[in-house]
Amino acid sequence: MNSPTASATLITSQLIDIVGLRTCGIFPNGKEPSIRTLREWTKLRRFSFSSG
């Protein structure tokens, strides 16, 4: 099982899309935010993103 640190390292070392972010393991099982919520958090810059 991945630790939070290992998951955070994984995310910073490779680019993922919004679906990958939702399912990458940083959120508890069954408590993953919706894609709409993740898009809002990205808009508020809670997550960094690349648009290209």
Residue 49 inside a domain? The answer is no
Number of domains composing the chain: 1
Residue 51 inside a domain? The answer is no
Within a 10 A sphere around the Cβ of 21, how many other Cβ atoms? Answer: 19
Residue 29 inside a domain? The answer is yes
The model scores a pTM over 0.75: no
Residue 48 inside a domain? The answer is no
What is the extent of the structural domain holding 15? 4-43
Residue 50 inside a domain? The answer is no
For residue 13, which amino acid is it? Answer: S
Phi, psi of 17 (to 5 degrees): -90, 180
The pLDDT score that the predictor gives to residue 34 is 93
Residue 18 inside a domain? The answer is yes
Residue scoring higher pLDDT (12 or 50): 50
Distance CA 29, CA 51 (A): 28
The pLDDT score that the predictor gives to residue 25 is 87
